[in-house]
Structure 1
Amino acid sequence: MDISKYKVEKNKKLKLKDYDTKEDHGIEEKELSEERLAESIEKLKDLHWRLHAEEKRGIVVVLQAMDAAGKDEAISYIFSNLTAQGLTTASFQKPSETELKHDYLWRIREGLPARGQIGILNRSHYEEVIFPRVHKDELKDEMYPDDMNKDEVWPMRFRQINDFEQHLSENGFEVIKFFFNMSKEEQRERLLERMKDPKKNWEFSFNDVKERRHWDTYQEVFEDMLNHTSTEFAPWYILPADDELYSRYIITEVMVNCLEKIDPQFPEISDEDKKKMDEAINELENEKK
């Protein structure tokens, strides 16, 4: 797979309407699921074990999208295959009273991975340049400098986010970001399915329909976000999210590519520990049954 076609290049002035929400990739569903995606997940599992064992680097994975775009399903389908000890998952909704008393990046740190881990941010610090722009009354005066016009906040926050992600990258934590590009019609069908199927009612939130009314504004805000925060050290990848299975394949391939560049290795034990290991093996093999 050529993952570069989904990567947003730095300083590229993209238009979301130019990105397909579903593409004709020519792969049969059975081949995609049972062969290509399965093989890619196996590679990811092996590389993740090495990352966890080595404990030198970490990876931050950002998932951003409209409701019902497939973030939760991607986490379950892909990342549930990885060892739990080397995985963290955090979701971010509307800030709590405690979180609002701190700077907007404060709460994100709790969800960051340690070395040897992949940390998944289901929504993220990007909520702070999305939701308050769509709902302008959510940005309070105390959240930005006194001498700043409210419209100037967003370029400032884009810079701050880029600096924050560069800090992570320079300290051994790769940052990979996925935007689920879903069509309005596809979201409509998925929301209706959640409402009509009793087994899926629990997935539905009335707020999903409320936020859908701001669809066009969200698309404009997403587009601005992608244009200003895709960098060499923390790129965005735009997924054709109407096709959930293929989107998962892209995510897995991007993750494999990242880990292959890191090239983590299982630690080698010292000669002293090797001698102790041989003695322990000998002791156990000669135990009386």
Structure 2
Amino acid sequence: MVHQKILDALRTYTDPFRITKGNDFFLKHFDPGDTLGLKMDKQVALQLLQRHSKWLAMEQEVLYAQDSWSVLLVFQAMDAAGKDGTIKHVMSRVNPQGCDVVSFKQPSDEELSHDFLWRYSTKVPERGHIGIFNRSYYEEVLVVRVHQHLLDAQKIPPVRIGKNIWNERLADIARFEDYLARQGVAIVKFYLNLSYDEQKRRFMERLDNPDKHWKFSTADVRERRYWNDYMHAYEEAIRATASEAAPWFVVPADNKPFTRLVVAAAIVEAVEKLDLAYPKVTQEQIKDLAAARQELNAEPIDGATGDRPKGDPDH
């Protein structure tokens, strides 16, 4: 059953950042440094995050057992916004057996020989699982939109590349998500909203710390030159694809503990709303359980000294 008290507690962190209708959405209305006026230290934020992670772990167990719904978490952000760290911290208590993380890199020749959604559709989580897309099909209307020469590698007939291609792709994505939602996939999308100044600070921190040099790429600085183009592309994408079935959360990303807290709350809320329950045992299964109990009770008390079946691996 839905736990209303949990939902009420979560909405404090989710409602201000949830986008379900894109008509009036403007990215400038969302402050990357927002913490809802909460002046919490890292320890308090960590305690709240651990509470949410515990709730998520409990819900995931029921999701896996029910084997009906699946959950797709989509993460998009500019470089250094903290996607990897957020995923790591928020999902720390989730059973890996029921969770799949996919990081989409540069497409292969095989992937480029298919439609733009193909490689993503094959990775949608199976029923009972949580799937995480670390970057996603939205790259096809973000990085490809900013660097339009990438369309050349996608082998699309030139007659199909018109001035409305980005609106068409966004409409395709919205329909794709609507289709998934109708098949029992609960979709939650996150844009980690990092400020221009904070990105520079984090880049400089990586350059100043030898232990973080591995995180830095000169390509990150090159992409920073296109900041305004990316902001426009993100705004258009969120505006065109936000819906009740597949909401966006524009999460402030300048404060990492707060970012993780909001993301965790939104995931727990989405799973909680599914009204999950453990599968009911049939009468036939009840009989089988009773027979198993009877057989086990009939075994000698000192089973260690008695004869065991030949197939027992400990025999």
Shorter-chain TM-score: which interval? over 0.9
CA distance in 1, matches of 2:136, 2:114: 16
Q: Report the CA distance shift for 1:46/1:193 in structure 2 as closer, same or farther (over 3 A).
A: same
What are structure 1's unaligned runs of at least 5 residues?
A: none
- Amino acid aligned to 2:195: S
The residue correspondences of 1:79-228 to structure 2 (distance < 5 A) are: 79-140=91-152, 144=156, 146-148=158-160, 150-228=162-240
Query: What SS does the corresponding residue of 2:91 show, helix, strand or coil?
Result: helix
Is this contact kept in 1: 2:22–2:238, CA < 8 A? no
- Amino acid aligned to 2:236: D
- Using the TM superposition, name which of 115-124 and 218-227 deviates more: 218-227
Please say if 1:230 is aligned against 2:257. no
- The corresponding residue for 1:63 is 75
What are structure 2's unaligned runs of at least 5 residues?
A: 1-11, 305-315
Is this contact kept in 2: 1:166–1:233, CA < 8 A? yes
Is this contact kept in 1: 2:18–2:247, CA < 8 A? yes
- Using the TM superposition, name which of 159-168 and 194-203 deviates more: 194-203
Identity of aligned residues (%): 34
- The corresponding residue for 1:11 is 22
Provide the alpha-carbon RMSD of the alignment.
Answer: 1.8
Say which of 37, 46, 50 aligns to 2:49.
Answer: 37
* Alpha-carbon offset, residue 268 of structure 1: 2.6
CA distance in 2, matches of 1:215, 1:246: 23
* 1:73-98 deviation line (CA, Å, top 9, x unaligned): 01111113101111111111222211
* Alpha-carbon offset, residue 19 of structure 1: 0.7
Q: TM-score, structure 2 length as denominator?
A: 0.86
- Using the TM superposition, name which of 147-156 and 177-186 deviates more: 147-156
**Bigger Rg, structure 1 or 2:** 2
CA distance in 1, matches of 2:290, 2:201: 61
Q: Report the CA distance shift for 1:196/1:110 in structure 2 as closer, same or farther (over 3 A).
A: farther
Is this contact kept in 2: 1:103–1:143, CA < 8 A? no
CA distance in 2, matches of 1:42, 1:148: 48
Please say if 1:20 is aligned against 2:34. no
Query: What SS does the corresponding residue of 1:218 show, helix, strand or coil?
Result: helix
Query: What SS does the corresponding residue of 1:81 show, helix, strand or coil?
Result: coil
Is this contact kept in 2: 1:88–1:117, CA < 8 A? yes
Is this contact kept in 2: 1:89–1:111, CA < 8 A? no
- Amino acid aligned to 1:31: V
* Alpha-carbon offset, residue 148 of structure 1: 4.9
* Alpha-carbon offset, residue 107 of structure 1: 0.4
The residue correspondences of 1:241-260 to structure 2 (distance < 5 A) are: 241-260=253-272
* Alpha-carbon offset, residue 55 of structure 1: 0.3
Count, aligned residues? 288
CA distance in 2, matches of 1:179, 1:256: 17
Q: Report the CA distance shift for 1:2/1:141 in structure 2 as closer, same or farther (over 3 A).
A: closer
- Amino acid aligned to 2:29: D
* Alpha-carbon offset, residue 141 of structure 1: 8.4
- Amino acid aligned to 2:19: V
Query: What SS does the corresponding residue of 2:125 show, helix, strand or coil?
Result: coil
* Alpha-carbon offset, residue 111 of structure 1: 2.0
- Using the TM superposition, name which of 201-210 and 97-106 deviates more: 201-210
Is this contact kept in 2: 1:15–1:223, CA < 8 A? yes
* Alpha-carbon offset, residue 13 of structure 1: 2.8
CA distance in 2, matches of 1:142, 1:280: 58
